[in-house]
Amino acid sequence: MRLGISRISGFYKLPPNARLESIAEKAELSREEVSWIEQGLEINQANMMVENVIGIFQVPLGIATNFVIDGREVLIPMATEEPSVIAAASNGAKMARGAGGFSTSSTGPIMRAQIQATGVPDPFGARQEILQHKDELIEAANEKDPMLVKFGGGVKDIEASVIESRLGPMLIVQLIVDCRDAMGANAVNTMAETLAPRIEELSNGKVYLRIISNLADKRLARAKAIFKANDIGGADVVNGILQAAALAEVDPYRAATHNKGIMNGATAVVLATGNDTRAVEAGAHAYAAVGGKYRSLTRYEKNGNGNIVGTIEMPVAVGLVGGATRVHPVAKANVKILGVKSADELSRIIAAVGLAQNFAALRALVSEGIQKGHMSLHAKNIAVQAGASCDLVDIISARMAAERRISVDRAVELIRELGDKKN
Ligand code: MEV
């Protein structure tokens, strides 16, 4: 049913309502699901999500096309305020299609919670004590979430280590929790809080922190794609991308921007599905620094055929149950559009989008430069800023892009000129 659906020619030329109709047909959205997207979040729903609500802050939602992930055509909902991100993701996915798109894998949905025992008189002895009581602790934690255990999740292991700090040694106990389809913060925090008194007893210390770690290094998502030299502009572009990638592997100044580009794509899908953008961002950047030096999350190599092999590995802690994903109507519709059945699958799609986004940025950066594409899309924003009415925005932005004169001053001139013609 979903065969070939992500390749929609001329999608960008349609007006928004026709685009939604097209997506509704391809993703088999019901009329109700379409209305969720049309109406968006309502104030009474927002009021149940966070505190002190006074309104709703809206962000554009678009669809990235061309994605084939693990042999499946996937339409990617992306919520972002940045022009050119969705176009670039679609472009990156198109360049990967020639060799079959993206293949993915993951470590599974495992999170860590930390329990910090301080003032422990014999931290190494206490560590052993904790590990000797591992089964008892796992059982006590799992009793707190029988539902998660029923679905095959729950605490799977307990680790303990002594960490030297400037306030002396601390015993850090970590719960290793399979969160299944939940992002898991609530589940693991509850478990950590439950075990804290017993950890105090066993260690003779005082527990302060008992909280999830967002460095989700046991919840890694990976994606790989081959970008054929002929599809991306030839051998010089291949070499340029390898040069750009090599810099991002060793220079944190470039790596930060390189990874920001990855997160342009990843965060937009995390947000569109009602997931915790800050958790995924924190995990990605912490993972990028895990070796002691901040580095890029993607790798690019040239294979024997002169094509580029791109890979990404990053923590992606997202869920399909709990949190806003099941509450926010647009997030619910977006999950349906993605056609995902598990949080793990969603995390792998997000990694693939990150890779597509990064590749498209690098390709543009080493060839025509980022501003050409970016500025022509940005031209619409400029036209609006200059006060263009809806019917003039497209005309004025196209004129400014063609003239390569994209500025508020030029937009004001064009509004005057075109407005005069209309009258
Ligand atoms: C802009 O939002 C993202 C880029 O700067 C990423 C990059 O430089 O790789 C284009």
Q: Record the tokens describing residue 251, joined without a space.
A: 């220079």
Cα radius of gyration (the chain): 24
Task: Check residue 121 and report its DSSP letter.
Answer: S
Does 256 contact ligand 1 (Cβ within 6 A)?
no
Residue 83 in contact with residue 59, Cβ under 8 Å? no
Tell me what percent of the chain is helix, strand and coil, each rounded to the nearest 5.
55, 20, 25
Amino acid 1: pLDDT: 41
Amino acid 156: pLDDT: 98
C-alpha of residue 9 to centroid of ligand 1, in Å? 26
Residue with tokens 């002190």: 52
316: nearest Cα among 216, 176, 225, 224: 216
Amino acid 277: pLDDT: 98
Tally of CB atoms within 10 A around 18: 11
Amino acid 423: pLDDT: 54
Atom of ligand 1 nearest to the CA of 258: 9
Q: How many residues does this entry show for the chain?
A: 423
Q: What pairs with residue 291 in β-bridges?
A: none
Amino acid 419: pLDDT: 79
Predicted model pTM: 0.92
Give helix then strand counts, H and E, for the chain.
17, 10
Nearest CA to ligand 1 atom 9: 258
Nearest CA to ligand 1 atom 2: 261
Candidates 353, 370, 374, 381: which one to mutate for ligand 1, based on the most atoms within 8 Å of Cβ? 370
Active site amino acids: 82, 260, 276, 374
Per-residue pLDDT of the chain (423 residues), as tens digits, is 455 788 888 899 999 999 999 999 999 999 999 999 999 999 999 999 999 999 999 999 999 999 999 999 999 999 999 999 999 999 999 999 999 999 999 999 999 999 999 999 999 999 999 999 999 999 999 999 999 999 999 999 999 999 999 999 999 999 999 999 999 999 999 999 999 999 999 999 999 999 999 999 999 999 999 999 999 999 999 999 999 999 999 999 999 999 999 999 999 999 999 999 999 999 999 999 999 999 999 999 999 999 999 999 999 999 999 889 999 999 999 999 999 999 999 999 999 999 999 999 999 999 988 777 777 778 888 999 999 998 899 899 989 988 989 899 999 999 999 976 655
Nearest CA to ligand 1 atom 4: 261
